[in-house]
Amino acid sequence: MTEPIVVATDGSPAATAAVEWAADDAARKHLPLRIVHVLDLTPYDIPRYPVSDVYDHLAGSGREILRQAEQAARERRPGTEVTTEMIEGEPVHVLRGQAERATELVVGSRGLGGFTGMLLGSVSTHVAGHVDAPVVVVRPGPPAVRGEIAVGFDGSPESEAALAYAFEEAALRGARLRVVHAWQLPTYVYAPSMVYDLDEVRRAHEDLVTGTLREWREKHPGVDAVPAVVSVHPVTALVEASAEADLVVVGSRGRGAVRSLVLGSVSRAVLHHAHGPIAVVRPKAPPAEEKPRPETT
């Protein structure tokens, strides 16, 4: 059975934009679309101060949210298979579970429960980078079509996975792919200053990107992949690239991330500051080796 693209909705403007983005991507990838609404009763679960008929009210509202989302998806992409599901539980846990059976998980940048001044809500923060499926975070408003995708690459396994996802998206959209590789000279606080040959360092970074792209162009000869090797902070480079891109793709964490962190500092910062949709991609876990069965006599 083909795993669907799953999109979460709570009726907020960001969720509405997420449903439209997910419908478009499902159509491009010829995948079914499943729209999920999480019925979160946690704020009302106070035994001493019960709220009468809260379940019926929230469930009725949830069904209407799903009806409107399904209608919007079908009108946008009539040929796409669309199903809906309302699930009771805590949003982060529910969506992580949904991602286990999804090709991709799409969420809005901030739902109805977020603070108005925040760019990114707690749900999207705690889902992106925490599941094996790619997670796409979509901001509210109509999408701008510029014909370009940007991807961050630093040579780590996480960025290789991001590169694979970005090439696929670029091929399906017929878009240019800008491969952003940002580098900075290391700073040693407790050591004497070291002298670097900047031209040699720059050539080394350019060779890394050029060599990697050579391999990927053979797999996707129709994609116009353009290297962008810049000497700035990675967050600055990716946020600037997002202003001209339909989608920014990053790995869950790069070489500079602390190994124990699921979502690296660069990915987290780009999630907060990118101008448009951003996909966070984790490398696929290697399949577990099957243990040999004990011999029977």
Tell me phi and psi for residue 188, to 5 degrees: -110, 110
Torsion of CA 10, 281, 28, 76, to 10 degrees: 20
What is the architecture, at CATH level 2, of domain 148-281?
3-Layer(aba) Sandwich (3.40)
The whole-number pLDDT of residue 291 equals 45
pLDDT reading at 161 higher than 80: yes
Q: Which fold has domain 5-138?
A: Rossmann fold (3.40.50)
DSSP readout, 76-137?
H-TTS-EEEEEEES-HHHHHHHHHTT-SEEEEESS-TTS-TT-SS-HHHHHHTTTSSS-EEE
The whole-number pLDDT of residue 117 equals 34
pLDDT reading at 290 higher than 70: no
Q: Are 32 and 20 in contact (CB under 8 A)?
A: no
Q: How far apart are CA 200 and CA 210, in angstroms?
A: 15
| Residue-wise pLDDT tens digits, 4-46 | 999 999 999 999 999 999 999 999 999 999 999 999 876 555 5
CA dihedral (261, 265, 266, 270) positive or negative = positive
pLDDT reading at 223 higher than 90: yes
Nearest by Cα to 19 from 32, 30, 33: 33
Domain limits, CATH 3.40.50.620, in the chain: 5-138, 148-281
| Residue-wise pLDDT tens digits, 169-215 | 999 999 999 999 998 766 554 555 555 577 888 888 889 999 999 99
Nearest by Cα to 278 from 254, 248, 251: 248
Contact residues for 38 (Cβ-Cβ < 8 A; gap 6+): 8, 10, 86, 87, 88, 89, 90, 91, 94, 95
The whole-number pLDDT of residue 264 equals 64
| Residue-wise pLDDT tens digits, 100-154 | 999 999 999 875 544 333 334 567 778 887 899 999 999 998 877 899 999 999 9
Q: Are 247 and 149 in contact (CB under 8 A)?
A: yes
**Banded model confidence at residue 286, pLDDT cuts 50, 70, 90:** low
Q: Which class for 115: exposed (0-12), middle (13-18), buried (19 or more C-beta within 10 A)?
A: exposed
The whole-number pLDDT of residue 269 equals 87
**Banded model confidence at residue 265, pLDDT cuts 50, 70, 90:** confident
Q: How far apart are CA 109 and CA 65, in angstroms?
A: 17
**Banded model confidence at residue 50, pLDDT cuts 50, 70, 90:** low
10 Å Cβ neighbour count for 246? 20
The whole-number pLDDT of residue 125 equals 77
- In whole numbers, what is the pLDDT of the chain averaged over residues? 84
Q: How far apart are CA 168 and CA 291, in angstroms?
A: 34
User: 84: which strand partners?
Assistant: 35
The whole-number pLDDT of residue 103 equals 97
Nearest by Cα to 129 from 234, 269, 20: 269
The model carries a pTM of 0.84
Contacts 24+ apart (CB under 8 A), 109-116: 109/14, 109/137, 109/138, 109/139, 109/140, 110/12, 110/14, 111/10, 111/12, 111/14, 111/15, 112/10, 112/11, 112/12, 113/10
- Interval 274-294 mean pLDDT: 71
- Interval 239-252 mean pLDDT: 94
The whole-number pLDDT of residue 198 equals 77
